[in-house]
Amino acid sequence: MHDVLANVQNLKIQCLDKGHVTLIDAMPRVVPESQKTADYAIVQAARVSYGDGTKTVNEDRGLIRYLMRHRHTTPFEMVEFKFHCKMPLFVARQWARHRMSSTNEYSGRYSLIKDEFYYPELGNVKKQSQNNKQGGSESLSECDALAFISHLQDISVKSYDIYEQYNQKEVAREQARMLLPVNVYTEWYWKIDLHNLLHFLALRCDSHAQYEIRVFADAMLALIKPIVPVTIEAWEDYHPMRGALLLTKLEADALAEFLKSSLWQLKAPLLNVQNRREQSEWLEKAARLGLNTNFDSQ
Amino acid sequence: MHDVLANVQNLKIQCLDKGHVTLIDAMPRVVPESQKTADYAIVQAARVSYGDGTKTVNEDRGLIRYLMRHRHTTPFEMVEFKFHCKMPLFVARQWARHRMSSTNEYSGRYSLIKDEFYYPELGNVKKQSQNNKQGGSESLSECDALAFISHLQDISVKSYDIYEQYNQKEVAREQARMLLPVNVYTEWYWKIDLHNLLHFLALRCDSHAQYEIRVFADAMLALIKPIVPVTIEAWEDYHPMRGALLLTKLEADALAEFLKSSLWQLKAPLLNVQNRREQSEWLEKAARLGLNTNFDSQ
Amino acid sequence: MHDVLANVQNLKIQCLDKGHVTLIDAMPRVVPESQKTADYAIVQAARVSYGDGTKTVNEDRGLIRYLMRHRHTTPFEMVEFKFHCKMPLFVARQWARHRMSSTNEYSGRYSLIKDEFYYPELGNVKKQSQNNKQGGSESLSECDALAFISHLQDISVKSYDIYEQYNQKEVAREQARMLLPVNVYTEWYWKIDLHNLLHFLALRCDSHAQYEIRVFADAMLALIKPIVPVTIEAWEDYHPMRGALLLTKLEADALAEFLKSSLWQLKAPLLNVQNRREQSEWLEKAARLGLNTNFDSQ
Amino acid sequence: MHDVLANVQNLKIQCLDKGHVTLIDAMPRVVPESQKTADYAIVQAARVSYGDGTKTVNEDRGLIRYLMRHRHTTPFEMVEFKFHCKMPLFVARQWARHRMSSTNEYSGRYSLIKDEFYYPELGNVKKQSQNNKQGGSESLSECDALAFISHLQDISVKSYDIYEQYNQKEVAREQARMLLPVNVYTEWYWKIDLHNLLHFLALRCDSHAQYEIRVFADAMLALIKPIVPVTIEAWEDYHPMRGALLLTKLEADALAEFLKSSLWQLKAPLLNVQNRREQSEWLEKAARLGLNTNFDSQ
């Protein structure tokens, strides 16, 4: 038997200045020596639908890719991960939007909050983007960034001073904490199944996500990749927020009309894959895009 | 104030031989006269993110389309529908896979099951597909179909006879029912939010869904369309299981390589839309597909 | 037809110094004149299990009480409420722990956060409880409370000044906000079904909940009570965190042993209810508690 | 390190005539030698709230009991179980009402359904209860039961014959299956966290649950008990559907009035527990029940 956590070199990844993501546990944790990864449990669950047992590694890979391509998502729920994470409170707030997960967080009602605050690196203070409403790619001038960080440190230190002072004067912790800014660190245990985790990662590894949560999402992706490598490969190939490309109806129609009207009808290129089903799915799409897929008649 | 149920001509749609879907209620039910549809509530919730109030009908449409295109799904959870449905038990079983909904079903433990069974129409008995594992498009020979339906009627009638007989002999209902076949009808109230309903409809209106559940999904789509018309239009344009087209990484790469290598680089066609953001999103994709989007230099 | 929102005198309730809870919508919104409340939809859904239609108002009340007493919770999911709420961020964090709900929140990434901070009233700054880990019932000395609030105001004003200043210097909003303390106000739309709302209210109207969220929970309870009065009455009678009393196995056994060993066996008192089923449920419990329920033999 | 599955003597328990429940996996699977059980993960997650590490085994037990008694349910979500189950279809339908779980079921669309049907034992065919609407405790006469089972076998055999016959004539499997009765066996993988599993078990191990699903619930309880023994002990002591006793407001008030009015006020018995918090919680309840808890003054 093989412990899948052994697939990961370092179970703890530092994130931002004082945070981290640590992979605590996985389900399945123990897999047959012949398998070595938790992709195993996805295939096991999916095969119950077909009344089949396990097959060759190659057929297993084909099945996982088929499930991912065709949005048969339930077998991916059969794998579970548990992380211990430490992150600034404003990151925790975005994170907690993902409801299909289990969380136990450090409590500022029961315990003293620790004196740890997030300060961005100089080059990571961004300018407000003009065309969309998010943080842009352009960095703030070094001078302004320095001043901003300095103010942030000032407020953090000052507020923590008062927090400590009033804890000694026995203000209820649940109330004393309310003067702490949202760059204060918190921590939690977080458990989620692979299907919902991939949904989280699609949104939070994306370039539209705030940098400070993206760091944590990237860390989680790095941690699970050696444990479910076939699943991650399929996800990178087929998810529209990863390598795949979603053409809207308007775009597909415009492209089809354009390709059809080219001087001579273009012949669809073939995919460089062995999988015949995947090839034929492509030819259906190519036909929709106005490419010639009638190979016999040529 | 306007009652959105008034947008629907007939709230009850017959499905299969003895089933139906009836729209019982919607939230929002009552909307401003100036709005007339429940798309209103989606915009209302989304605008709280931006700290904005309502805007023109055209801007509202643009916002809903933007939310749909960019998978900002939470505002669509703000609309809720409640249906009363009657369907064969094997359809109910597929339906119940969709967990993010609320159900109250007729109980065979508490009540006598009614003598109503589903018998397919002659032309709707399908042959097993050979290449995939689902019901195919080809119909069974009329002769075989007739015989199959006749057997189905025979079993249904016989089992119901025994069911009735042993109810009179006071076998517990919960046990007596166990001889009834899964073409027996059941009914339930079903409540679901619009986001989760669209997920259901994408899967169950699809050609890969079994015909007998597709009928119910199509009925629900027809019922909600006049209540959230802008949302449905956006969904048809942008969902990969509706009008949109998802190219896998392999497909997009193959197409890009192919288009780049054509004799002269093809200039990307423009979309026929006013929306500048949608246009520029397309040009990004067109560039990835190897089309020339550098209009200035030409 | 009757609009259930008309049952509520004032749909907006002020909470804390600058917050509020506003009831925006309910499902069912429109009910028959003969019903007037949304309890109606619970009965409607529950009756589908029994294959029954509606009955007298009294039988409906009996059914709702039966469902509540016996934890048949699904019919309560058939009623839905939508609120617009404004609360301090640390309250929003506790609130967001309740996952079975839909939320759209004001976004500090997209919009400028408003200059509104929560400052507790003088008498509401509590001392840390010694025996449990929560805010106690004892208030802080007026002098210390005054100083604490003054510090809180100072930090809030100072941090907002810097926030504004760096917004003008075009720091990305998503980063600029990180120096704001958690007493800053946020707002959201929040939709939840009645079953899950009652779970929320049981926990958050309770004396162990932090005062600052209890205010919001109490407001929501006041708002929905006239819309589902029979349900709320049943909940107050039967929920262990409301009027009911949960004896652990150890407690029930100790009490039973004690009552059995009293000089003469005590005769169980009767409940002052018409409902025979409720009476007989009590007698079963009374017997377990060692009371004499054998009325005939006396 | 210790594998918690080793705590269970036999991971597969036969249920009914041809079904079973098999424990496939648990999370945590691997625990420290000093712990031996998965209760460990509950304490680990809960302690993050208090900023504490692990403590003595006795303190851990106290914490789990405290969490259970006070409905702090989230740490119990941190433990996960996966089962492989085979059960009659009408049992699967009741089971599937529990939505907070993951399921992969054998598919009658893709695969041939096997020739396995449930036939109750002679003594297990029950009479319909008159006072409630469920299966009663009284058995049917042997003669009637024998005849009922014989009819059930007859229908099952006949319908399976036709099923096979029309599979050979290539009726689509998804349609051919519709003549099979609901006593046919199906199977699935089922994954659920401990909190939601305890909710399932409370309802389905209860005497009001149908016998045929109770068998499976009892099997699951037996399987997990050696893996989370402290949790199960606490659950048996504190859950109102297990050993605890929930007095409604009406019952508690009636009992209190009665006990107060006894000739001399009865002195509350003490619990036989070391835990001081549990003792003082009892005294609060005893006072509410009209017992004298003023020990000093006596």
Set of chain C residues whose Cβ sits within 8 Å of the Cβ of A99 = 99-100
CA–CA distance, D266 with D180 (Å, rounded to integer)? 63
Instruction: Give C78 or C1, the one with higher predicted confidence.
Output: C78
Set of chain D residues whose Cβ sits within 8 Å of the Cβ of B171 = 125-128, 140, 144, 148
Beta bridge partners of A25: A82
CB-CB under 8 Å, A242 with B285: no
Percentage of residues in chain D with pLDDT exceeding 90? 83
Set of chain D residues whose Cβ sits within 8 Å of the Cβ of C285 = 245, 247, 251
> Does the pTM of the predicted model rise above 0.90?
yes
Percentage of residues in chain C with pLDDT exceeding 70? 96
pLDDT value, residue D188: 98
CB-CB under 8 Å, C30 with B27: no
Our CA-based measurement puts residue D89 at a distance from the nearest CA of chain B, in whole angstroms, of: 9
Rounded to an integer, the average pLDDT of A250-258 is: 94
Examine the pLDDT at C75 and tell me if it is beyond 90: yes
- Closest residue to B174, CB basis, from D134, D152, D158: D134
Examine the pLDDT at C295 and tell me if it is beyond 70: yes
Our CA-based measurement puts residue D11 at a distance from the nearest CA of chain B, in whole angstroms, of: 27
CB-CB under 8 Å, C88 with A178: yes
- Closest residue to B244, CB basis, from A97, A236, A249: A249
DSSP A133-180: SSEEEEEPPHHHHHHHHHHHHHHHHHHHHHHHHHHHTTB-HHHHGGGS
CB-CB under 8 Å, D78 with A82: yes
Set of chain D residues whose Cβ sits within 8 Å of the Cβ of C248 = 69, 237-238, 243-244, 278, 282
- From the candidates A65, A195, A242, A247, which should be mutated to test the interface with B, based on the most B CB atoms within 10 A? A247
pLDDT value, residue B131: 67
Residue A79 CA: distances (Å) to CA of A26, C216, D105, D148? 7, 38, 16, 43
- Closest residue to A255, CB basis, from B203, B238, B269: B269
- Closest residue to B254, CB basis, from A244, A257, A269: A269
CB-CB under 8 Å, C89 with A177: no
DSSP chain A: -EEGGGG-S-SEEEETTTEEEEEEEEES-EE-TTT-STHHHHHHHHHHHHT-----HHHHHHHHHHHHHTT--GGGGG-EEEEEEEEEHHHHHHHTT--SSEEEE--TTTSPPPS-B----GGGPEEEPSSSSSEEEEEPPHHHHHHHHHHHHHHHHHHHHHHHHHHHTTB-HHHHGGGSBTTBEEEEEEEEEHHHHHHHHHHHSSTTS-HHHHHHHHHHHHHHTTTSHHHHHHHHHH-TTTT-EEE-HHHHHHHHHHHHTSSSPPBPPPPS-S-HHHHHHHHHHHHHTT-B---TT-
Helices (H), C32-141: 39-50, 57-69, 89-95
Instruction: Give C197 or C57, the one with higher predicted confidence.
Output: C197
| Local structure of C80: helix, strand or coil | strand
CB-CB under 8 Å, A78 with D51: no
Percentage of residues in chain A with pLDDT exceeding 90? 84
* Pick from A285-294, C85-94, C111-120: least confident: A285-294
Our CA-based measurement puts residue A94 at a distance from the nearest CA of chain B, in whole angstroms, of: 13
pLDDT band at D135 (very low <50, low <70, confident <90, very high): low
Examine the pLDDT at D298 and tell me if it is beyond 80: no
pLDDT value, residue B168: 95
Examine the pLDDT at A186 and tell me if it is beyond 90: yes
Set of chain B residues whose Cβ sits within 8 Å of the Cβ of A289 = 245, 255
pLDDT value, residue C264: 67
CB-CB under 8 Å, C151 with A155: no
pLDDT band at C298 (very low <50, low <70, confident <90, very high): very low
Instruction: Give D294 or B125, the one with higher predicted confidence.
Output: B125
Task: Write down the residue that tokens 């085979």 correspond to.
Answer: D86
Which residue of the set B65, B204, B242, B277 is catalytic?
A: B204
Nearest to A156 by CA among A192, A120, A127: A120
Which residue of the set A61, A65, A177, A204 is catalytic?
A: A204
CB-CB under 8 Å, B74 with C49: no
pLDDT band at C49 (very low <50, low <70, confident <90, very high): confident
CA–centroid distance for D58 within its chain: 26
CA–CA distance, C109 with C162 (Å, rounded to integer)? 17
CA–CA distance, B166 with D258 (Å, rounded to integer)? 48
CB-CB under 8 Å, C28 with B191: no
Task: Write down the residue that tokens 């490598």 correspond to.
Answer: A229
Which chains sit next to A, with 3 or more Cβ pairs under 8 A?
B, C, D
CA–CA distance, B223 with B200 (Å, rounded to integer)? 14
- Tell me which amino acid residue D165 is: Q
CB-CB under 8 Å, D156 with B158: no
pLDDT value, residue C220: 98
What pLDDT, in 10s, does the model give residues A16-29? 999 999 999 999 99
pLDDT value, residue A132: 61
- Complex-level ipTM beyond the 0.90 threshold: yes
pLDDT value, residue B15: 98
What pLDDT, in 10s, does the model give residues B29-49? 999 999 999 999 999 999 998
CB-CB under 8 Å, B249 with A242: yes
Set of chain B residues whose Cβ sits within 8 Å of the Cβ of A251 = 245, 271, 282, 285
pLDDT value, residue D175: 96
With CA atoms as reference, the chain C residue closest to B81 would be C27
Examine the pLDDT at C224 and tell me if it is beyond 70: yes
Q: List chain B residues with pLDDT less than 50.
A: 298
pLDDT band at A298 (very low <50, low <70, confident <90, very high): very low
With CA atoms as reference, the chain C residue closest to A95 would be C96
- Closest residue to B246, CB basis, from A240, A271, A289: A240
pLDDT value, residue B142: 94
Set of chain A residues whose Cβ sits within 8 Å of the Cβ of B285 = 245, 247, 251
pLDDT value, residue B234: 98
Rounded to an integer, the average pLDDT of C172-182 is: 97
pLDDT value, residue A195: 98
Average pLDDT, chain A: 93
Rounded to an integer, the average pLDDT of C129-149 is: 84
Report whether A217 contacts A209 (CB < 8 A): yes
Examine the pLDDT at A297 and tell me if it is beyond 60: no
pLDDT band at A129 (very low <50, low <70, confident <90, very high): confident
pLDDT value, residue B298: 44
CA–CA distance, D125 with D136 (Å, rounded to integer)? 10
Our CA-based measurement puts residue C235 at a distance from the nearest CA of chain B, in whole angstroms, of: 20
Set of chain B residues whose Cβ sits within 8 Å of the Cβ of A275 = none
